[in-house]
């Protein structure tokens, strides 16, 4: 597991205690006043496009307004299922020639599916592939892809073969903020555009595919029996006071009291509900599904506290004016004269804030739905 220190070091900014205090105070107001003028739920402007790589099954490029840019490519290959996975099939008491009952096939797919069918790699300028930050980011993205189990079922071909999915993400510029949201949105678009060759073999035969690429099917179809669900997205949320702020900048992360990575997806609608044969709750169709919620140690914990000196200057804890006497320096260092200008936040995430974050992300008119709808319009 990667160390959190390296992740914090990437996102740390060097602001004076007075600047940190002013920024924190502005973000605790109602409504919060962000340095770039955005509202609490507003994302940075971005430019996105899909299908940019001709030699990939799916690809996308996303560029934020601050110049941070990422490209993702998806490659899909046929892989033979390992013999060790046959034990899961045997546990279902299914003979080789037996016809599967309705419902048993999906259960069988879930048992045979393995997390190793999906590999995610993240490349960031200035970092090795096995450094903590790329490995940690790849782990979060993979966790979101596999959380619902639906992607693994899409990769199932038959008892002996499956699709192997490779997701390669390249950050083209130095990250100006924590890059998780950018990488997640780029991956989402690449998977939306990913296509697989049309399977023309049947049953347990060796896979045989059509040579006509125009007949290839989308990994996430827009129409048909499995339409409706979309790849997951992972949003970065910070809490400051009683406010929750989406898509934080590097400066906002420096004063955040807690940082949360929230993974969501849009569940598919059953064919019966879509055709009207089964009465479904319309509200539940539009609400997103929470896949995972992971707290990240905020880089604000690494900032040093600041106290005013005898000259009234706001400085760091180890920086004192030359006019101060040794006794005054000791008093200032201990923060006993007029209190600290900036104190790094301590403590975890409050329970009521967790409920507030989940509600804001998953509701019908929430931030998660807004982001997914915007990405669905790309290309």
Give the per-residue pLDDT at 1: 41
Count of domains observed in the chain? 1
- The answer to whether position 280 is within a domain reads yes
Does the pLDDT value for residue 325 go beyond 50?
Answer: no
Q: Please name which of 182, 171, 344 lies closest in space to residue 247, comparing C-alpha atoms.
A: 182
Region of poorest pLDDT, from 51-65, 78-92, 114-128, 347-361: 78-92
- The answer to whether position 291 is within a domain reads yes
Give the per-residue pLDDT at 168: 97
Q: Say how far apart CA 271 and CA 227 lie, in whole Å.
A: 9
Does the pLDDT value for residue 329 go beyond 70?
Answer: no
Residue 339 — pLDDT band, cuts 50, 70, 90?
low
- The answer to whether position 20 is within a domain reads yes
- The answer to whether position 245 is within a domain reads yes
Does the pLDDT value for residue 233 go beyond 50?
Answer: yes
Mean pLDDT for the stretch of residues 330-350: 63
- The answer to whether position 315 is within a domain reads no
Give the per-residue pLDDT at 13: 66
Task: Report pLDDT digits (tens) over 58-112.
Answer: 999 999 988 899 999 999 999 888 643 554 455 555 444 444 444 445 445 544 5
Q: Which helix (H) or strand (E) holds 75?
A: strand 69-80
Q: Say how far apart CA 109 and CA 88 lie, in whole Å.
A: 10
What burial class does residue 367 get, using C-beta atoms within 10 Å of its C-beta: 0-12 exposed, 13-18 middle, 19+ buried?
buried
Give the per-residue pLDDT at 12: 54
Give the per-residue pLDDT at 300: 78
Q: Which residue has the higher pLDDT, 353 or 112?
A: 353
Does the pLDDT value for residue 368 go beyond 80?
Answer: yes
Structural domain boundaries enclosing 121: 4-303+342-376
Region of poorest pLDDT, from 128-132, 202-206, 337-341: 337-341
Mean pLDDT for the stretch of residues 314-318: 44
Does the pLDDT value for residue 323 go beyond 90?
Answer: no
- The answer to whether position 318 is within a domain reads no
Task: Report pLDDT digits (tens) over 257-292.
Answer: 999 999 999 886 654 444 454 454 444 445 789 999
Residue 307 — pLDDT band, cuts 50, 70, 90?
low
Give the per-residue pLDDT at 58: 95
- The answer to whether position 322 is within a domain reads no
User: Half-sphere exposure (CA, 13 Å, Cβ side) for 94?
Assistant: 20
Q: Which residues contact 173 (CB under 8 A, 6 or more apart)?
A: 67, 68, 69, 125
Q: Which helix (H) or strand (E) holds 293?
A: strand 289-296
Average pLDDT, the chain: 78
**9-13, 150-154, 203-207, 247-251: which has the highest mean pLDDT?**
247-251
Residue 234 — pLDDT band, cuts 50, 70, 90?
very high
Task: Report pLDDT digits (tens) over 170-226.
Answer: 999 888 788 999 999 999 999 999 999 999 988 888 889 998 888 899 998 876 545
Mean pLDDT for the stretch of residues 355-365: 91
- The answer to whether position 335 is within a domain reads no
User: Half-sphere exposure (CA, 13 Å, Cβ side) for 310?
Assistant: 11
Please report, for the domain that includes residue 21, its CATH number.
Answer: 3.30.230.70
CB 181 within 8 A of CB 235: yes
């Amino acid at each position: 597991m990667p160390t959190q220190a390296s992740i914090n070091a990437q996102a740390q900014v060097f602001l004076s205690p007075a600047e940190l205090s002013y920024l924190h105070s502005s973000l605790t107001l109602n409504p919060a006043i962000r340095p770039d003028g955005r509202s609490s739920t507003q994302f940075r402007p971005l430019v996105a496009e899909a299908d940019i790589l001709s030699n990939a099954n799916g690809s996308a490029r996303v560029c934020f307004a601050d110049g941070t840019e990422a490209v993702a490519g998806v490659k899909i290959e046929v892989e033979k299922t390992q013999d060790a996975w046959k034990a899961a099939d045997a546990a279902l008491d299914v003979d080789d020639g037996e016809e599967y009952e309705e419902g048993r096939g999906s259960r069988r797919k879930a048992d045979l599916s393995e997390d190793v069918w999906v590999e995610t790699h993240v490349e960031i300028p200035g970092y090795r592939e096995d450094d903590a930050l790329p490995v940690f980011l790849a782990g979060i993205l993979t966790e979101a892809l596999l959380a619902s189990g639906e992607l693994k079922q899409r990769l199932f071909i038959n008892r002996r073969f499956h699709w192997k999915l490779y997701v390669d993400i390249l950050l083209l510029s130095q990250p100006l903020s924590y890059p998780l949201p950018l990488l997640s949105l780029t991956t989402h678009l690449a998977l939306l555009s990913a296509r697989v060759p049309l399977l023309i073999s049947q049953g347990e035969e060796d896979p045989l595919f059509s040579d006509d690429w125009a007949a290839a099917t989308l990994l996430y179809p827009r129409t048909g029996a499995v339409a409706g669900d979309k790849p997951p997205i992972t949003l970065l949320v910070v809490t400051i006071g009683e406010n929750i702020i989406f898509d934080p900048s590097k400066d906002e992360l420096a004063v955040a009291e807690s940082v949360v990575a929230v993974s969501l997806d849009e569940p598919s609608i059953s064919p019966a509900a879509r055709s009207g044969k089964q009465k479904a709750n319309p509200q539940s169709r539009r609400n997103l599904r929470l896949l995972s919620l992971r707290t990240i140690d905020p880089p604000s914990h690494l900032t040093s506290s600041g106290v005013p000196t005898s000259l009234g200057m706001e400085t760091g804890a180890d920086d004192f004016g030359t006019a101060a006497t040794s006794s005054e320096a000791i008093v200032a260092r201990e923060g006993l004269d007029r209190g600290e200008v900036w104190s790094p936040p301590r403590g975890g995430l409050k329970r009521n804030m967790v409920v507030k974050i989940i509600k804001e992300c998953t509701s019908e008119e929430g931030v998660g739905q807004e982001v997914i709808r915007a990405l669905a319009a790309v290309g």
